[in-house]
């Protein structure tokens, strides 16, 4: 049996797909051939293989090119069509988040029908009201994307226990563990110190919190004797290096570790801080409590990190759920409305809860 999975996204999207993929592997058994189709990202972008390989057995990862050029787009679609036909795929599971609009879902379904695949699962779009809880006209709780993907699998008839969502659910290869250990040892990571990790970066300006505000949080943490591990991608390294100058003894790991080695390093810390990004999902999947700042481009609960014990800050605005990658409003009220003092109060609460938790000594 050949089972294809259609998946979109990078770091965070790959983390949240793991429970659903594990449910599929448990159901179909080791004899089934499970193939993940995904977009070929730009150079430096995290691939699904980098995140998933140690956590769930997939037989192949097949990348296709997504292009805005119509001719290249048609050529890529033809190549993908040839691959699916050659593999004689029996069924396709559509593990794509709820943000995919109905027109694209219909297009993708039609494509796999053209490939001759008879069994198609997860291609239904769902109205917002089926996933959201409203109070006074505002969405106050939204089905998490991780739960949404697992529900897709369950609705197809595959047993999918919600316990699959419970952290920790990331498996780490020995190579990634050793890479993290070597890096931390070489950079002076002291096990007896109290550490917090921070990933301030994001690929969407609508989710960004001001660098100067992060700088003030970093200064206050340093004054409390808490050391900072700054993580992220290579593109975010300069931002992390600037923050590191404000905290003596801070370590910049951004761009130096693989995604899963980053997860190992973050798991050495008491808690993680950041905005809505993939590292927060890594931290949650490792069972690390997170303090995260969320814009209103998405809904509460939609992209929360896995697990419990998190502190998630939002500033309600009328344009909730805008889905904008760049905020068109001059003051960017949803993020700029989260004050330094509010964040610091949350940091204090996180320090207190993690220092008093079992095993924190």
- Give the H or E element holding residue 259: helix 259-267
Q: What is the pLDDT of residues 37-83, one digit of tens each?
A: 999 877 778 999 999 999 999 999 999 988 888 898 899 999 999 99
Contact (CB, 8 A) for 266 and 231: yes
- pLDDT score for 263: 98
- pLDDT score for 357: 58
Q: How confident is the model at residue 360 (pLDDT cuts 50, 70, 90)?
A: low
Contact (CB, 8 A) for 15 and 285: yes
Q: What is the pLDDT of residues 106-161, one digit of tens each?
A: 999 999 999 999 999 999 888 877 889 999 989 999 999 999 999 999 999 999 99
CA dist list (Å): 97 to 15, 143, 151, 175? 12, 11, 11, 31
pLDDT at 33 over 50: yes
Q: How far apart are CA 260 and CA 280, in angstroms?
A: 12
Tell me if domain 2-160 and domain 176-356 are identical in fold. Answer: yes
Average pLDDT over residues 198-221: 97
CB neighbour class for 78 (10 Å; exposed up to 12, middle 13-18, buried from 19): exposed
pLDDT at 173 over 80: yes
pTM of the model: 0.94
Q: How far apart are CA 341 and CA 84, in angstroms?
A: 54
What are the residue ranges spanned by the domains of the chain? 2-160, 176-356
pLDDT at 286 over 90: yes
Nearest to 111 by CA among 69, 74, 57: 74
- Which superfamily does 176-356 belong to? Glycogen Phosphorylase B; (3.40.50.2000)
- Please state which CATH class domain 2-160 belongs to: alpha beta
Contact (CB, 8 A) for 264 and 168: no
């Amino acid at each position: 049996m050949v089972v294809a999975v259609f998946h979109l996204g990078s770091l965070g999207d790959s983390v949240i797909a793991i429970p659903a993929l594990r449910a599929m592997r448990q159901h179909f058994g080791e004899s089934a051939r499970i193939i993940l189709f995904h977009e070929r990202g730009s150079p430096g972008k995290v691939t699904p293989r980098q995140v998933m390989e140690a956590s769930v057995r997939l037989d192949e990862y097949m990348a296709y090119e997504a292009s805005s050029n119509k001719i290249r787009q048609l050529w890529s679609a033809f190549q993908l069509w040839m691959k699916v036909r050659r593999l004689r795929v029996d069924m396709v599971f559509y593990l794509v988040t709820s943000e995919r609009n109905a027109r694209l879902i219909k297009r993708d379904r039609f494509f796999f029908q053209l490939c001759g695949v008879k069994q198609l699962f997860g291609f239904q779009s769902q109205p917002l009201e089926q996933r959201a809880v409203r109070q006074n006209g505002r969405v106050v709780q939204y089905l998490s994307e991780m739960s949404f993907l697992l529900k897709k699998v369950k609705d197809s008839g595959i047993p999918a226990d919600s316990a699959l969502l419970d952290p920790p659910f990331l498996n780490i290869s020995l190579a990634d563990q050793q890479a993290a250990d070597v890096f931390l040892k070489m950079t002076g990571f002291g096990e007896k110190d109290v550490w917090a990790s921070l990933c301030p970066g994001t690929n969407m300006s609508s989710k960004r919190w001001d660098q100067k505000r992060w700088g003030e949080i970093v200064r206050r943490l340093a004054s409390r004797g808490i050391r900072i591990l700054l993580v992220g991608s290579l593109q975010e390294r300069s931002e992390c290096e600037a923050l590191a100058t404000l905290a003596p003894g801070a370590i910049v790991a951004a761009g130096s570790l693989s995604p899963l080695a980053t997860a190992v390093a973050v798991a050495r810390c008491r808690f993680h801080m950041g905005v809505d990004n993939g590292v927060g999902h890594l931290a949650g999947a490792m069972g690390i409590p997170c303090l995260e700042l969320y814009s209103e481009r998405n809904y509460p609960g939609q992209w929360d990190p896995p697990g419990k014990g998190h502190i998630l800050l939002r500033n309600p605005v009328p344009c909730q759920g805008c889905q904008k990658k760049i905020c068109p409003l001059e003051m960017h009220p949803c993020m700029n409305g989260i004050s330094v003092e509010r964040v610091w109060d949350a940091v204090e609460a996180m320090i207190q809860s993690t220092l008093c938790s079992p095993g924190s000594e």
